[in-house]
Structure 1
Amino acid sequence: MRPITHPTIRRSAARRHSGRGRRWAAALGVGALVVAGGGGLATPAQAMVTASVPVDFPTHCIPPDIAGIPPIDGTTKAEITVDNAVPEVGDTVTVTYTVVQPAAGNPVDLPLPADIMTPTGRVTVGGAQTASVTVTGPKKNAPVPGKGAFPSFSMTGTFTVTAPGSITLSPGDYNIHTSYIMELDTPCTVTDPPAPVSETIIATDGGGQVNERSILLGAASGAAGDAVSVTGSKFTPGAAVTLAGRAGDRQTADTATVTADATGGFSGRITVDDPATTGIVAYEGDAWDATKGAGPQAYTVTGGGEVPDGSQRLHTSVRAGTLSMVQDGDTVDLSAVDFGRGGASRGSLRTVTVEDYRGGPAGWSLTGKVTDFTGPGGAVIDASALRWTPACATKPGSPSTCAAGSAGPVGSAGATLASTPNATATGGEFTVDARLALEVPAYTAPGAYSAVLTLTLT
């Protein structure tokens, strides 16, 4: 950031609902679970490409509160397949996660209709590279008879190969969203992660440049109007990053802007309103560019978004601002001291107002450094003689809290005047001041002395 020159200093002058009876459990049977038995089967990664295999793993499922039954521990049988088992670094691989046998079935006599289940989940990537791939499936299922087994379902997603070598793929957590009478979720987690490896691919070095940017979604599905958290890594430090919904090869109107921190990471949220959204991307620049972005990570809109007759949907947006500061003057007059006596020449820093309207996770730091004080005939008072006692106040309602720097010398090397930490939510308005004291030697030549104090906000 461009330094801002402060005043010339002059010596002179963040209950479970009980069940509503068996009738609710029958009507919403798709959300209630029964244990499906099974054992464990592990498939280790091998040094060569092998065909994918189904694996069994213990699963902990939590039925909707309205079902009125406790969590269920069962066994899931699943298989991971890919569209390319021998990719090059930089290639995009499509992953399909098929739950062959869910850890649940329909516990009631009431048959469940077709096309009410929307699955989402994650695939765990290990070996030469590590990642978590979001996968989603279509809202499609065969009718489920009373007390029948839930049908098999498949989910797909993609990831970019960033390193050569053996890459393993294991099934992860999954969720069954049901749209029958009510919108309900049944999340199932791997009891002892990671689950066994189902597929191993061998990546070779293609010799090209690799885009290592990546994003991870906080959820793989949600109703229209829900906000989903997005975290990213390996972006350009300090870059403005656009979060956007995708519907096939087009971008939807759902967007948000975040700023990458000094490590290239970020954390933000995007509200997804468009029911057609199938994925979320993040990119640098004015438009989607696969070489400067990450994703799409699969995302499914499971319900909501319908506009009743005679109604109108309203949209608005909040634009991210900037980090800036304003000072209420450019000159500080320190008190005079007597020749032969010397002592502290005192004054106050001109008040600085810091405004952080970026809306991202990054905090800020305000530092200062001072030149030597020069006087008549080349006389000098060393920069190390200037000390300050910082103070910082936070405007009520600001997400961040300002911390004053330590009292002590400023000097030519500089010191911290005030700062705020990185956090999930940052920003606000802050007032920064400091008491100044220049220690003047007793027999310093009489006359006016001046120096320049430069403040830098980053």
Structure 2
Amino acid sequence: MSRRGVIARCSAAAVGGLMVVGMAGAAIADEYGDEEVVVSVEIEALPPVGALTMSVAAESTTLSEVESEDADVRQFNGTLPKVTVTDDRESVPEDVGWYVTGQSSTFVGVAGGEIGAEHLGWAPRLLTANDGEVAEGPVVDTVLDAPPNNVGLVAEELLALALDSTGARVAGEWEADADLFLKTPKGVAPDSYSATLTLTLWEDAL
């Protein structure tokens, strides 16, 4: 309580005393010293509103055999489940872009056989109409195809790319998928094979 408040309360008590007793004098307080107390508070920055996120429509997909153009190759086709990139941030860093990559593990059969990730390729497809803010990645062929891009999904390959996150954010949501194709030698061991295709959303200076 401040000294003025204390004096006010004492004065009120003194007046009350005068009314009852009929005699009292106003008390005057003497100041004998001050002490200081430091009050500190740490106010953290508010978390950003919204986020750049990615979702995939399904956790699995199946490849089915189709007629191969090469008599020495067996081909199995399928479709990557729809990938959605959403950006609902109120503010976006300048001079950055986002991109989605995919990388496959080795196909492993129930009986223990293996088919390397270099045998899996894709043809990305952008499903959201745009004016060039986002582009689909290039076709990645398999090791059994002709060069130059016959590396398969061994390393991170591009599904979709936004060179400017600020420009892409206007749409708010982008969708893409890809045609998947696995090509094996004709003599591949019959089995039930599976692999994991890892999709990653990045944002970085481009």
Aligned residue runs from structure 1 range 88-103, under 5 A: none
- One-letter code aligned to 1:332: T
* Alignment RMSD (CA, Å): 2.6
Question: 1:452 matched to which residue of 2?
Answer: 196
Secondary structure, in 3 states, of the residue corresponding to 1:384?
Answer: helix
Question: 1:434 matched to which residue of 2?
Answer: 178
TM-score (norm 2): 0.60
Question: 1:404 matched to which residue of 2?
Answer: 136
- One-letter code aligned to 2:102: G
- Alignment length, in residue pairs? 140
Superposed CA offset, 1:368-402 (max 9, x none)? 10001111432111100100000113356xx9721
Q: CA separation in 2, counterparts of 1:425 and 1:432?
A: 18
- One-letter code aligned to 1:286: A
1:378 and 2:109 aligned:
no
TM-score (norm 1): 0.28
Q: CA separation in 2, counterparts of 1:426 and 1:343?
A: 40
Superposed CA offset, 1:277-327 (max 9, x none)? xxxxxxxx517xxxxxxxxxxxxxxxxxxxxxxxxxxxxxxx741111121
Aligned residue runs from structure 1 range 206-355, under 5 A: 286=45, 320-336=49-65, 342-355=73-86
Aligned residue runs from structure 1 range 123-138, under 5 A: none
Cα shift at 1:342:
4.2
Aligned residue runs from structure 1 range 195-210, under 5 A: none
Structure with bigger gyration radius: 2
Which residue of 419, 426, 434 corresponds with 2:161?
419
- One-letter code aligned to 1:411: L
Cα pair 1:394 1:401 within 8 Å, conserved: no
Secondary structure, in 3 states, of the residue corresponding to 1:332?
Answer: coil
More strand by share: 1
Query: Percent identical across equivalent pairs?
Result: 35
Secondary structure, in 3 states, of the residue corresponding to 1:377?
Answer: coil
Cα pair 1:369 1:414 within 8 Å, conserved: yes
Superposed CA offset, 1:56-88 (max 9, x none)? xxxxxxxxxxxxxxxxxxxxxxxxxxxxxxxxx
Cα pair 2:140 2:153 within 8 Å, conserved: no
- One-letter code aligned to 2:133: T
Cα pair 1:366 1:457 within 8 Å, conserved: yes
Cα pair 2:101 2:158 within 8 Å, conserved: yes
Cα shift at 1:337:
6.4
Q: CA separation in 1, counterparts of 2:166 and 2:59?
A: 35
- One-letter code aligned to 2:154: S
Cα pair 1:387 1:408 within 8 Å, conserved: yes
Residues 423, 447 of structure 1: alpha-carbon distance in 2 compared, 3 angstrom cutoff: closer
Question: 2:124 matched to which residue of 1?
Answer: 390
More helix by share: 2
1:356 and 2:91 aligned:
no
Residues 400, 363 of structure 1: alpha-carbon distance in 2 compared, 3 angstrom cutoff: farther
Cα shift at 1:441:
1.2
Q: CA separation in 2, counterparts of 1:441 and 1:337?
A: 14
Cα pair 1:324 1:354 within 8 Å, conserved: yes
Secondary structure, in 3 states, of the residue corresponding to 2:111?
Answer: helix
